[in-house]
Structure 1
Amino acid sequence: MNENNTFGTPDAAFAPDRDLPMLTTAQATRLRALAAPYAQEGRTYSLYNLAQKCRQAPEERWPELVEAHFAALAEGSQGGESAAELLRGVHARLLPTDSLTPETAGAMRYARVVAEGLVFAYALDMPTSVRMLTDSDVERAGIEELGQAAYANLMSVPVEHDEVHIGGRALLHSLYGDSPFVASKALFLSEAARQVTGESLPDAGALVVVPNRNLLAYHPIADGSVVDAVNGLASYALGAHEDGPGGLSPRVYWWHRGSLTSLTVIDHDTRSFSLQPPPELLDRMKGLVRLDDAGRLDTAAVAKAPDVAALTHDTAEAIGGLAANPAGLGDAFASALTLAHARCTADPQAGNIETWDAWATAVQLGSALFTGAQAQECHLGEDIVRQLPATPAAPPADARAWLDAFYVAVACRQQARADRLCQVPLDVLRQDDSVDAYVLHWIDTLQTYWTERPMDDVVAKLLATMETSQPQSLTHTPKDFADLVDYQPVALFHRLLTRDHDAFAEALTEAVAHHGTYWGESAAPRARVALGALAMASLAYDYGFPVALPQPYLPTYLLNRERIEEMPG
């Protein structure tokens, strides 16, 4: 996130003007001289937009541009409109802070800075020009009435919408149009996004840029592609801002719950910038990146079915390299678990031996990752066998990988391995700063239950899990993922404790439905199996609950134990 970019090194002879930085000092002096004859007594004009137009044109054309600019102003409003006229044409407007001179700012005391580099104000849209409203205009129309009308008029401004992919994965939504108010929709980005996509923004908000008045682009913060998006947006904004006209800001902003926060830090002396997300956003991004890298949170944009042969080869290679590089065990486990899920694309009931081999290998590697293992063979089907070397117990601070390891051990009825996993110190897993508190409370609940500690302790820890999984407590996990995926095994475990067969059956139906809702038509391997629900259903089946089969996302021959075989270690 500390990527540096430069706008160019300023030469003393061509230093940017203080108030019109898109021009040199000499150019700005000439423009002011050209504009001086058009000044009217008692009225002040900002030359900011005119300067941006002049920057794009040869200097010999400047006199005609200045004449046309002031002619449009003369045809426009001279002030004094009725309140009804003001309400009819007012729009909320974003302005660059540099565009306000001391004189204009003095006449617009109602305007306020909404983010670094951006000012919120009201503008009157007229046939040939746009006039910024003054304090007297605002007083005449009424501040509340003006605000409501400005919002309604802004949101009715038509826009074009394109989707742009950058960095291979990140999706940008580009909103653009002829209106000078398009970028100002960033003030109300959630509603603007809903208008063009039909979908609300995630709870984490979005990254957004407003390089010029006719354009905004945003990226919903929903998964690990945010890393690609933040750098891609920075380049996108800089290029569009420099192209102009009507420039607003080259910065990348975080829109979150109605507020804009700049991620861009500009060094005006060196004309360079860096990207520095605030701590709260950085924490969220860490969590999303961890989920995505481990394959636990892919998006519906995954349109291509996984290549099982390639996954098998990659997993075999990862296991084969462990003797030389023991640190690769975590990646090998993630690869094996991805393969296990992917096998269920063609074999959703897990009836084939190759599918069992993939699940068994995931169990072996997950257990070894956290509790160590003796040397043993890992089978990957098609006569592919790899040797897992003897591995010491060195559990990593990876809470979600522990959950995966525990879930697959339970689903594959490996009680001894589950026993060992529940001896992994919770203090080690608490060092994982990429997860929300409810994930650690859930692990604590499972360990307490599995090791047969007092039921009062189990219930207390389960309640802590439920309380900390509420939306207001989430800082890392996307709300939909927490609700539709993570929370479902918690709900099932609750019904398991009460031994209420009917309630468990209802919760299981709901869990697989939620899994389907979250993943939709995604071809991502994780979409194939509701892993946490499978683990809880396996426990219920072994406890004698009447679990209906078959059910989507729950491989029948794992759940009913018919495919379960012995495995080493």
Structure 2
Amino acid sequence: MNADAAFDTPDAPDPDLPMLTAAQAAHLRELAAPYTDNGHTYSLQNLAHMCRRAPEDRWPELVETHFARLQAAGHGDESAAELLSGVHARLLPNESLTPDLVGAMRYARVVADGLVFAYALDQPTTVRILTDPDVERAGLEALGEAAYANLMRVPVAHEEVAIEGRALLHSVYGDSPFVASKALFLSELAREVTGEALPDAGALVAVPTRHLLAFHPLTDGSVADAINDLAQYALGAYQDGPGALSPRVYWWHRGGLTSLTVIDTETNTFSLQPPPELLGILKGLVRLDRAGRLAGRTAVDAPDVDQLTHTTADAIARLTQDGAGLGDAFASALELAHAHCALDPDVDRLPAWDAWATAVQLGSALFTGAQPQECHLGGDLVRQLPAVPAEPPADARAWLDAFYVAVVCRQTARIDRLCQVPLEVLRQDDSIDEYVLHWIDTLQTYWAERPMDDVVEKLLATMTTSAPDAVTRAPMDFVNLIDYQPVALFHRLITRDHDALAEALTEAVAQHATYWADSPAPRARVALGPLAMASLAYDYGFPVAGKRQYLPTYLLDRTRIEEIPG
């Protein structure tokens, strides 16, 4: 998640006004000098941005207009009522705070690298930053409430912007100089402009100018593109000005802003360095998304089964030259097995069964190795799986997929081998939450026929660590609607409570439907975890058979189960 880029500025930029050359900055300071001989210092940042976009023969006019507006601003004689009527929460760039302002604004605070929170009074021709006497006159609490309310009433326009990557950015803009300050309350803004709340993981956000902000909710694997797209977007808008605020990318999380951008002022370059907590979230989202486990907002076309069949066949064929592709081959086979269920939801035909059988073969080979064996992909299409050594990868979610399909297809010997994969290996997967490992530990302990007290202890650990305050990687809607459902079913399974399991199975199917909605993604077709638990329940004599959406009938009741090579 690192990116480096050079600031696209003219040669020899001024160190304090980098949007201008040193010569241009000296000229601007000379023009501003007559207006700044009153003992006060003024920030020239915004003025420099305006001058950068205008020919130098117009600079005297711009300077005169700029300082005329400053002089026309109020000087602190407004009543408390007038202050409350026009005050707004405001984000300011650090460099805009002159020594005079810093001494007069003890209430202001740094909210993130490069950004300061302050109160500003919106006036007909200008905006005045409030000082400590203003705050005292209106009252800090009343001023804060009014500043928030006035800011949220500022009108904005919203559009979705796709840059060069596949990530979608939400651009929010308007004429008001307070638009970017809404990043302070990004959750409320996101709900206003998109109709959806931000996810628990938060969002990436940029505030390049005071009239513009852009954000990307952390919901899926497109964050890998978004973080770079947003960095380029922010830098370009910041350089264009006027009203420049910050070229940085920030992480909005639980009401706070954290800068991800580290700027090297000596080389005029920047790098993106997410903190460890965010890096874990990003890895988790990318891993989930690449395996098709997340429901993206943008619908994708349903996969072509024939094309996916040949993709899987080619992936298996390449294993004879490069065994490192086994994980991708398993993912492709599993996607194919799910995709078949769009056309054959009961799995009562041989091509669908072949896909499920191949997923079992590749999944178990990935974690436990395999002898040479044939993989059938429907019709006369057969590929040879070469001998595979037992070198389990640190991919806990792929292990769960392999376990689930082996249970569904009643592959007892393969399940035995999967449950011997050391948990220490899977613990090396830094993209997952702790509850995933506890769940795997629960399943391995149960399958090894260890004492039920041990199983229950590990199951309770799974439940505890899947609570919202313990989850830091996966989106909570995915945890609740998808990941937790087989856990709930397993709980009912080990208590041998038929009625409770029937209710939990109905709930699991409903939650699967809620999560995926009308998505054409292959994983939407089958509730894999609940299907595995229901298959165990069926084998234990629970009355779970019968047609249920997302639970292929002829897999659940073993009608379609056949021998699998290897």
| Fold shared, TM-score > 0.5 on shorter chain | yes
**Who is 1:535 aligned against?**
532
2:218 aligned partner, one-letter code: I
Q: Which moved more, 1:417-426 or 1:463-472?
A: 417-426
SS at match of 2:258: strand
Q: Which moved more, 1:499-508 or 1:66-75?
A: 66-75
**Superposition map of 1:384-463 within 5 A:** 384-463=381-460
Which of 287, 292, 303 is equivalent to 1:290?
287
**Who is 1:373 aligned against?**
370
1:245 aligns with 2:242: yes
**Superposition map of 1:196-345 within 5 A:** 196-345=193-342
**Who is 1:3 aligned against?**
3
1:106 aligned partner, one-letter code: G
Deviation at 1:10? 7.2
Counterpart contact for 1:300–1:521, Cα < 8 Å: no
1:178 aligns with 2:175: yes
Deviation at 1:568? 1.2
The separation in 1 between residues aligned to 2:211 and 2:34, in whole angstroms, is 30
**Who is 1:499 aligned against?**
496
Counterpart contact for 2:41–2:98, Cα < 8 Å: no
2:349 aligned partner, one-letter code: N
TM-score when normalising by structure 1? 0.96
**Who is 1:364 aligned against?**
361
**Who is 1:511 aligned against?**
508
Deviation at 1:75? 3.8
CA RMSD of aligned residues (A): 1.6
- 1:562 to 1:167, Cα distance in 2 relative to 1, 3 A: farther
SS at match of 2:469: helix
**Who is 2:18 aligned against?**
21
The separation in 2 between residues aligned to 1:298 and 1:208, in whole angstroms, is 22
Counterpart contact for 1:299–1:524, Cα < 8 Å: no
Counterpart contact for 1:224–1:285, Cα < 8 Å: yes
The separation in 1 between residues aligned to 2:475 and 2:494, in whole angstroms, is 28
Deviation at 1:296? 2.4
The separation in 2 between residues aligned to 1:44 and 1:373, in whole angstroms, is 75
Q: Which moved more, 1:351-360 or 1:21-30?
A: 21-30
SS at match of 2:319: coil
2:49 aligned partner, one-letter code: Q
1:131 aligns with 2:131: no
The separation in 1 between residues aligned to 2:132 and 2:19, in whole angstroms, is 28
Counterpart contact for 2:396–2:436, Cα < 8 Å: yes
Counterpart contact for 2:19–2:48, Cα < 8 Å: yes
Counterpart contact for 1:300–1:519, Cα < 8 Å: no
- 1:515 to 1:166, Cα distance in 2 relative to 1, 3 A: farther
Deviation at 1:40? 8.0
User: Structure 1: which 5+ runs fail to align?
Assistant: none
The separation in 1 between residues aligned to 2:441 and 2:8, in whole angstroms, is 54
The separation in 2 between residues aligned to 1:326 and 1:126, in whole angstroms, is 68
Deviation at 1:380? 0.5
Q: Which moved more, 1:122-131 or 1:158-167?
A: 158-167
The separation in 2 between residues aligned to 1:70 and 1:16, in whole angstroms, is 22
User: Structure 2: which 5+ runs fail to align?
Assistant: none
Deviation at 1:47? 2.7
TM-score when normalising by structure 2? 0.97
The separation in 2 between residues aligned to 1:15 and 1:189, in whole angstroms, is 34
- 1:167 to 1:445, Cα distance in 2 relative to 1, 3 A: farther
SS at match of 1:477: coil
Deviation at 1:167? 4.3
1:27 aligned partner, one-letter code: Q
The separation in 1 between residues aligned to 2:494 and 2:403, in whole angstroms, is 18
Deviation at 1:491? 0.4
Counterpart contact for 2:49–2:242, Cα < 8 Å: yes
The separation in 1 between residues aligned to 2:283 and 2:58, in whole angstroms, is 51
Q: Deviations over 1:394-446 (max 9, x none)?
A: 21111111100010011111112111111112122122222111111101100
- 1:382 to 1:548, Cα distance in 2 relative to 1, 3 A: closer
The separation in 2 between residues aligned to 1:152 and 1:42, in whole angstroms, is 36
Q: Which moved more, 1:530-539 or 1:70-79?
A: 70-79
Q: Which moved more, 1:25-34 or 1:147-156?
A: 25-34
Identical-pair percentage: 75
Deviation at 1:169? 2.5
1:80 aligns with 2:89: no
Q: Deviations over 1:167-217 (max 9, x none)?
A: 443111110111110101111111110111111111111100001011000
Which of 144, 148, 158 is equivalent to 1:151?
148
Counterpart contact for 2:10–2:20, Cα < 8 Å: no
Q: Deviations over 1:503-545 (max 9, x none)?
A: 1111111111111111122221111111000000111111111
1:511 aligned partner, one-letter code: A
- 1:2 to 1:303, Cα distance in 2 relative to 1, 3 A: closer
Q: Deviations over 1:336-371 (max 9, x none)?
A: 001001111122222221111100100011111111
1:404 aligned partner, one-letter code: D
**Who is 2:519 aligned against?**
522
Counterpart contact for 2:538–2:545, Cα < 8 Å: no
Aligned length: 566
The separation in 2 between residues aligned to 1:86 and 1:45, in whole angstroms, is 23
Q: Deviations over 1:44-90 (max 9, x none)?
A: 54332222211211111011112222333344423210111101100
1:100 aligned partner, one-letter code: L
Deviation at 1:113? 1.0
SS at match of 1:109: coil
Deviation at 1:25? 3.5
Deviation at 1:497? 1.0
**Who is 1:96 aligned against?**
93
The separation in 1 between residues aligned to 2:40 and 2:184, in whole angstroms, is 29
SS at match of 2:31: helix
The separation in 1 between residues aligned to 2:28 and 2:282, in whole angstroms, is 45
Counterpart contact for 2:545–2:556, Cα < 8 Å: no
